[in-house]
Amino acid sequence: MSETIRTRRLRREYEKILSELSGNEFVCVEPIQGNPPWYYRVTYRLTGLVWDEASSRAVVSEKHVVDIVLSTGYPRQGPRCTMRTPIWHPNIGDYVCIGDYWSPGVTLVDVIVHIADMIQYKSYNLASPVNKDAAAWARRNQKSFPLGTRSILLTVEDSRRGEIQARQSGSELLTDDIDISLGPVRERRS
């Protein structure tokens, strides 16, 4: 029995997660279901915000948990990202809005990194908020952003350098069966 496009993509995504995020001090990616996994729980240890009802203000939170489900339509259909801990962000409510970011060429590692940037207010979109109150608050407090500066992966320049080196050395790039390059597996920083 031949492996489906989805199964091959799920396997490659899992390999990329193991290679690039295992042992990361700021993010822990735990496969929950599937072989290869299609359901993950991601715990971030990054500076973000939660709304404190008692003081009516945003306060710092250092732990954020997101469940990511790769449906049967994946990779043509984007991941479903659901917050499991409270967070105060314009584009995060019960779910994490990655619609403007997602395309089939975006890897799961890229999504995990993007959510990390969202948590730290490195990335937010005030034009199409999920949480309108958080968007109004963010609009008034934009000078305070980003909250954190943690990067959980190599820089884009480091990534490009790795891609060029992979091509020059004849290393095989990870590719998807719908002609989407997943790029080389980047080496983690020590």
The domain spans of the chain are 5-154
Q: Is the pLDDT of residue 105 over 80?
A: yes
Helix and strand numbers (H, E) in the chain are 4, 8
Smallest CA-to-CA distance from 144 within 59, 87, 34 is with 59
CATH superfamily of 5-154: Ubiquitin Conjugating Enzyme (3.10.110.10)
Q: If pLDDT is split at 50, 70 and 90, which confidence band does 115 have?
A: very high
Look-up: residue for tokens 């990655």? Answer: 98
Q: Distances in Å between the alpha carbon of 126 and those of 117, 123, 129, 132, 143?
A: 15, 10, 6, 9, 14
Is-contact 174 163, C-beta < 8 A?
A: no
pTM of the predicted structure, to 2 decimals:
0.80
CB atoms within 10 A of CB 6: 18
Residue range 152-156: mean pLDDT, rounded:
63
Res. 125: pLDDT tops 70: yes
C-alpha distances (whole Å) from 116 to each of 37, 172, 177 are 21, 28, 28
Query: Are residues 48 and 119 in contact, defined by beta-carbon separation less than 8 angstroms?
Result: yes
What is the distance between the alpha carbons of residues 63 and 85, in angstroms, rounded to a whole number? 8
Give residue-wise pLDDT tens across range 24-42.
Answer: 999 999 999 999 999 999 9
Q: Are 106 and 13 in contact (CB under 8 A)?
A: no
Residue that wins the pLDDT comparison between 160 and 10? 10
**What is the mean pLDDT of the segment spanning 1-12?**
87
Quick one: pLDDT at residue 186? 53
Non-local (6+) Cβ contacts of 133 within 8 A are: 51
Placement of tokens 């019960």 in the chain = 94
CA distance 131 to 147: 18
